[in-house]
Amino acid sequence: MDTPLNWSELGPYFADENKARLLLESMRWPNGPTCPQCKQTATVYRMLKMADSKKPGRPGLLRCRACKRQFTVTTGTVFEDSHIPMTKWLQAIYLITASKKGMSAHQLHRMLGLTYKAAWFMGHRLRYAMSTDLFASKLSGTVEVDETYIGGKMRFADGAKSVDWRKAKTPVIALVERGGRVRAFPMERVTAETLGKAIADHVETDAVIMSDELNAYTKAVDGREHHATNHGAREYVRGNVHSNTAEGFFSLLKRGINGIYHHVGKGTSASTAMSSRSGTTRARCPMRTAPNCWCGARKASG
């Protein structure tokens, strides 16, 4: 089935638990239910309530004849072992991915009528799903690379007239595939070596790199075709050469930190923030990223 992509089309799925489950089944298994254990499709069947049974049937319960395993559409996903209705999960996916600057747990809790604890739990699991792509390929085509610094305001201490702003803020690099994906993450220092490792790990060797005039990029691209604009000379676009897409991503990232989250700590929380913003930027049509939520629930817990 075609996946609905806007709120008005998704309305029936937000109100009916059975329709929400069937929608997720069609997204996860477009060719029919597949056993998560043995990967068989032909041996899977639905377990229906017996006519003379006094026990209530379990909607969506499936069984595999080959490995004898019972499972549902949430097995092996971030939805597994959750008592939150699937309709709420669908709404949370839409709200988080449709909000360009992010959405706080408090906002989710107010809009979905959940406890703050439940909204916080859902937000973390969905952001993990957006930051996890088990079959990720490297960025290709034209890839823009840029760096920025995020952090709090600089404070003058002990009568000092100036401080090194690089020590007060955290460097962040973004790799943006034009018309496609975004990879963003913090790093300790911006050098030719650190930039080179990031590009080597995430960008194909035949990609075309676009950047500003930072000298470190010359070595970091490692033989890839490279074009740069000279921001120091007020050159921001030269034909098809620019890094404006990456700069637009940083603008949304900083607006999200300042206006939604207010604080992002170094380490895991910073990496999660960068990754979730990358996933949201890729997801201008929100429900298209729902399949990312099929990553392991146990990895997402905690």
Q: Do 27 and 57 have their domain in common?
A: yes
Q: Do 63 and 79 have their domain in common?
A: yes
Q: Do 114 and 189 have their domain in common?
A: no
pLDDT of residue 210: 96
- Decide if 2 is inside a domain: no
pLDDT band at 292 (very low <50, low <70, confident <90, very high): very low
Q: Do 295 and 276 have their domain in common?
A: no
The CATH number of the domain holding residue 277 is: 3.30.420.10
DSSP string for 195-260:
HHHHHHHHB-TTPEEEE-S-THHHHHTTTSEEEE--GGGT---BTTB--HHHHHHHHHHHHHIIII
Q: Do 165 and 240 have their domain in common?
A: yes
Q: Do 246 and 292 have their domain in common?
A: no
In a 10 Å sphere around its CB, with 0-12 CB exposed, 13-18 middle and 19+ buried, how is residue 279 labelled? buried
CA distance linking residue 142 with residue 225, whole number of Å: 10
pLDDT band at 161 (very low <50, low <70, confident <90, very high): low
pLDDT of residue 219: 93
pLDDT band at 156 (very low <50, low <70, confident <90, very high): low
pLDDT of residue 284: 44
For residue 226, the tally of other CB atoms under 10 A from its CB is 18
Length of the chain, in residues: 302
Q: Do 260 and 200 have their domain in common?
A: yes
pLDDT of 243 over the 70 cut: yes
pLDDT band at 164 (very low <50, low <70, confident <90, very high): low
pLDDT of residue 271: 54
Q: Do 267 and 146 have their domain in common?
A: yes
pLDDT of residue 279: 54
CA distance linking residue 259 with residue 104, whole number of Å: 10
pLDDT of 301 over the 70 cut: no
How many Cα atoms are found within 13 Å in the side-chain-facing hemisphere of 179?
3
User: What is the average pLDDT value for the chain, to the nearest integer?
Assistant: 81
pLDDT of residue 21: 92
pLDDT of residue 165: 65
Q: Do 147 and 277 have their domain in common?
A: yes
Query: Residue 126: which domain range?
Result: 7-134+286-300
pLDDT of 181 over the 80 cut: yes
Q: Is 118 helix (H, G, I), strand (E, B) or coil?
A: helix
- Decide if 1 is inside a domain: no
CA distance linking residue 216 with residue 193, whole number of Å: 8
pLDDT of residue 112: 94
pLDDT of residue 114: 94
Q: What is the pTM of this model?
A: 0.75
Domain count, the chain: 2
pLDDT of 300 over the 50 cut: no
Q: Do 278 and 291 have their domain in common?
A: no
Q: Which two tokens stand for residue 40?
A: 């068989």
Q: Of the ranges 45-59, 77-91, 257-271, which is most confident?
A: 77-91
pLDDT band at 291 (very low <50, low <70, confident <90, very high): very low
Q: Mind listing the pLDDT tens digit for each residue in 198-234?
A: 999 999 999 999 999 999 999 999 999 999 999 999 9
pLDDT of 29 over the 60 cut: yes
